[in-house]
Amino acid sequence: MLGQKSNLESPPQRFPHAEDRGDPRVTRGSYKTLGIVLLGILLCGVGVWKLTQRPKPAPPDPKARPPAVLTVTTEKVRYQRVEDALKVTGTITAWDPLSIGAEANGLRIEQINVDEGHRVRRGQVLATLNSSVLEAQLEQQHARLSAASANASRVAQPNRPQDIAGLRSALRQAKANLSQEEASGRQARANLDNAEINVKRYAELATQGYATQQETENRHMEAERARALMTMSEQRVSAARFAVEQAKHRLSLAEAGGRSEDVQMAGANTREIEAMIRMLEAQIAQTVVRAPDDGLIVKRDAHLGEITSGGKVLFQMARLNQLELRAQVPQTDLPRVRLGEPVRITVGHKIVLGRVREISPLVDPSTRLASVRIRIPTDAGLLPGMYAEGTLKAGSREVLVVPAQAVLGQSDRHYLYLEENGRARRVDVQTGARAGRLAEVRGGVKPGDTVITSGAAFLGDGDVVDVKDK
């Protein structure tokens, strides 16, 4: 006990550092720091106690509705009459393409006057070929024609007047000879008649005894001589008549001209040369390549210095600058196409209005496609070879429609979301025609179904949604 008392009565312990420095303010700051530390420990303990005493949350109610993923708007699926459209595709080509070549073969191209994209008029010179060889041949034939014409004129014209006068004199002489021979013939006839009378008379006298046999035979011999002279005279008359006919013929030919066969040969030679000249003139004309009609040059295959050959195309031209869209249409859609029907043609961002001008009467047996030719305006600014899409009206029909923004997906796989009891249900659909903000749908929906319009792209199948009041 005494020991304990002495401990209680012992003086309080001091901080050695404070005593060494002899500063009483150090002792007061130390007590303040200690109090702050004790207060912090106390507050932490209170906080831990409160956390340990916090009540546990109640378990979730399985019947409670989960929170909505998105607030959406809806519309009803309904029937509506829409204009049916037929989509066609094809290539823009010339309505009447023309392939222009050179008719002359083996000639060099000397000049080209047009290029691709130029508009030309009918008869306009497109290119010129070298025609120097043909022109030389033409000049040669003209010289031959001059010579042949002179020869034909010489053969056909009458003889000189001096020749004709001589022939007329020869005719007169022939006629005189004929007259003389005819007179000699008459004298020979008279002598023959007289000799025959003497023969008869001496024969009677010899019978009566008044003439001898020798005298009678002499009279017979005289008659034979007279008969021979008569025959000779007839032959000379025939010869004289023939000479007269020949003289007449020679005079006639001299007065009319050359012989007919000579005239015909000279004329035939002249006509042959004239035909050759016409042929060369036509070949020279063919060395100038001209446009067969108004149109647009779409391709040029002609080059300076090139030698032309048969069948080579120098220029390709769109006649009258008229283009068309040649679209391929399935045979099932062909009855829906009508002549004169307007067609909305799209080429890139350019849209023009065309019209159906011809429907092919033949369907390709391998593809079951038919060609439909659609006229394009000349000022449309399109070019041959461009790929184009066309849309034409094909009547109207009642179809199920929904807002176009409700249809999602791409290519041939489309879907939409129906709102059923506050949840989104995905339904696969097929799309058809579009009319403004509405789209035709087939399969998976029926009239009166509620389709989600806005926000459908952010939903999944079965998501909870809130429907926004309109």
Residues 143 and 137 sit within 8 Å (Cβ to Cβ):
no
Distance between CA atoms of residues 27 and 301, nearest Å: 114
Candidates 352, 348, 370; CA nearest to 361 is 370
Rounded to 5 degrees, what are φ and ψ at 213? -65, -35
Mutual angle of helices 132-156 and 260-286, in 10-degree steps = 160
Residue listed under structure tokens 């700051």: 29
How far CA 175 is from CA of 135, 244, 250, in Å, comes to: 60, 6, 14
Q: Kind of pairing, strands 70-72 and 465-467?
A: parallel
Residue 50: predicted pLDDT: 60
Provide the 10 A C-beta neighbour count for residue 56: 5
Residue listed under structure tokens 């080429």: 347
> Hey, CA dihedral for 433, 435, 437, 438, is it positive or negative?
negative
Is the pTM higher than 0.75? The answer reads no
- Which residues, in sequence order, are CB contacts of 253 under 8 Å at separation 6+? 159, 259
Coil, strand or helix: which one is 274? helix
Helix (H) or strand (E) segment spanning residue 399: strand 387-403
Distance between CA atoms of residues 172 and 150, nearest Å: 34
DSSP 18-76: HHHHT-THHHHHHHHHHHHHHHHHHHHHHHHHHHHTPPPPPPPPTTSPPPPSEEE-EEE
**How confident is the prediction along the chain (470 residues), in pLDDT tens digits per residue?**
334 333 434 444 444 444 444 454 445 556 667 767 677 777 766 665 665 555 555 555 555 567 888 889 999 999 988 877 888 999 999 989 999 999 888 899 999 999 998 999 999 999 999 999 999 999 999 999 998 888 777 666 555 666 677 778 888 888 888 889 888 888 988 988 888 898 888 888 888 887 788 888 888 898 888 888 888 988 888 888 888 888 888 777 666 655 667 778 878 888 999 999 999 999 999 999 999 999 999 999 999 999 998 788 999 999 988 999 999 999 988 888 989 999 999 998 899 999 999 998 899 999 999 999 999 998 888 888 899 999 988 777 888 999 999 999 877 789 999 999 889 999 999 888 777 788 889 888 999 999 999 888 888 998 999 888 75
Distance between CA atoms of residues 393 and 127, nearest Å: 46
Rounded to 5 degrees, what are φ and ψ at 27? -65, -40
